[in-house]
Amino acid sequence: MSQIVQGFHGTSREVAELILNNGAQYFQLSQNEYDWLGDGVYFWENNLTRAMTWAKQHFQDEAAVLEATISLADCMDLTDDYWKQRLAEAYVSLKVVYRRLKKRLPKQTALRHDRDKVVIEHLIEQLWMNGKSIRCVRGSFDEGRRIFPLSAIRRQSHIQIAVRDTSLITNLRIHTA
C-alpha cells in the first residue's frame, strides 16, 4: 500500500471552486522549464500556511488553497536515497546525450531549476521506456534565510509534490483567506 499525505495547492478562488466542483482532473499540470520536480500539479505537503502565503502573493484578495489527500503511488521520492542515486545516474546519462547533440545543459539558479527539471524528465522517460510509470515526484527543499545564525534550518524549507497523475488526488477541500 502506498503512503498517503495531505497536500496544499495555492490558486485563485475561481479555479479552486472549478476544481472542487468538477474533480481533480480539472487541475492544470504545470509544465514550466523551471519546475524543479518536473511536470505536474504542485502541492506543499502538510503546509497550508506556505500554500496560502504563495496564493496571496499571486492572487491577492482572490487567493485560495485546495487541500487534498494525495497517494504517493508510483512516486519518485527524492527524500529516499534510492531515487537520489537514480537521479545522479540520469544526470550522467543526460550529459552524454547533450554532449552528442553539442548542446549545453540548462542553467540552474536559486530561482530557476531548469536543469533539475530536464534531469528528472529524462529519468522519467528512461523509466517509462522500461515499463515503469512515475505518477508523482516528491522532494524536500531548503529555502529562505536561516532561522538563527549557523542553523541548518531555513525559514522556507518544505516538502513539495508534483502530481503527474491527477487520479492520485482525492478528498478536495477549499481554504480561503
Residue range 92-101, pLDDT digits in tens: 999 999 999 9
Give the residue carrying C-alpha cell 471552486: 17
Give the lowest-confidence range in 35-39, 63-67, 109-113, 131-135: 109-113
Q: How far is CA 7 from CA 135, 140, 167, in A?
A: 15, 14, 14
pTM: 0.92
Q: Poorest-confidence range of 25-29, 131-135, 153-157, 170-174?
A: 153-157
| pLDDT at residue 108 tops 70 | yes
Residue type, 122: H
What value does the mean pLDDT of the chain take? Answer: 95
- Read off the pLDDT band of 156 (50, 70, 90): confident
Asked if the model's pLDDT at residue 165 lies above 90, the reply is yes
Q: What is the DSSP letter of 166?
A: G
Name the pLDDT band for 19 (thresholds 50, 70, 90).
very high
CB 38 within 8 A of CB 131: no
Q: What 8-state DSSP symbol labels residue 74? A: T
Residues 19, 155: Cα–Cα separation, whole Å: 30
